[in-house]
Structure 1
Amino acid sequence: MDKPSVLFVCVHNAGRSQMAAGFLNHYGGDAVEVRSAGSEPGEAINPVAVSAMREVGIDISEQRPKSLTADAVESSDVVITMGCGDTCPVFPGKRYLDWELDDPAGQPIEGVRPVRDEIGARVAALLRELGVPERR
């Protein structure tokens, strides 16, 4: 089987989707292809999200918000949306999941940690579903 490809999408691609991509890269390594994008990408990654991820040993500081493209959706096996609603393009035959998560934008780190931990748990469950061994 080809390695599975996962696309995480949120509005600004600055918090939730970047944390999810960071976890998936960290846990899945080379066994999974990871993308993230935003329907209205922000200027930069949320620095509190960067700090929260650093606390669990994952560095997302070099990432930049990217625009959601139809090509990114089309070339992904699983598309996980996080609050972008109807702005995400839908292609037949793709697996879509919607993760209802609080937006970490404007939150102090105490408010971002539970979101980070929920994303980490969901990413670990996704890897099990995809049959990808988790690296820790």
Structure 2
Amino acid sequence: MAVFVLDKQKRPLMPCTEKRARLLLKRGRAVVVRLAPFTIRLKDRIGGKTQPLRLSLDPGSKTTGIALVRDVERIDPDTGEVYRDAPVLWLAELTHRGARIREALTTRRNFRRARRHRKTRYRAPRFLNRTRR
């Protein structure tokens, strides 16, 4: 998709393609800042123009979709109608922890139940032996 770019003073610039990032790294004009999300910092550039970006969220019960899109307004030359185009620059998927926590608690509950009921197959039941004389 796209690689995030920072200038020399660590201010964000417009994202670039993976190919351009590879070339910048190979030529020594950039260094890697982060691996997730992959971000590079240019060594020889300060400042620059940026385009308007928008963060889109798609909330779900198990995962949330995250998209970084560029806001582009286009005018149809025939009708003069303005419509928005949103080219996607970056996509991500955030998995919620709720399901994992529930599965861990279920596994724990099953282990405890197995531990409590283990090796008691032929014993007499012991639920009426706690009364006072």
Greater percentage in strand: 2
- Please indicate, yes or no, whether the TM-score normalized by the shorter chain is above 0.5: no
Tell me the TM-score range normalised by the shorter chain: under 0.3
TM-score by length of 2: 0.19
> In terms of Rg, which structure is larger?
2
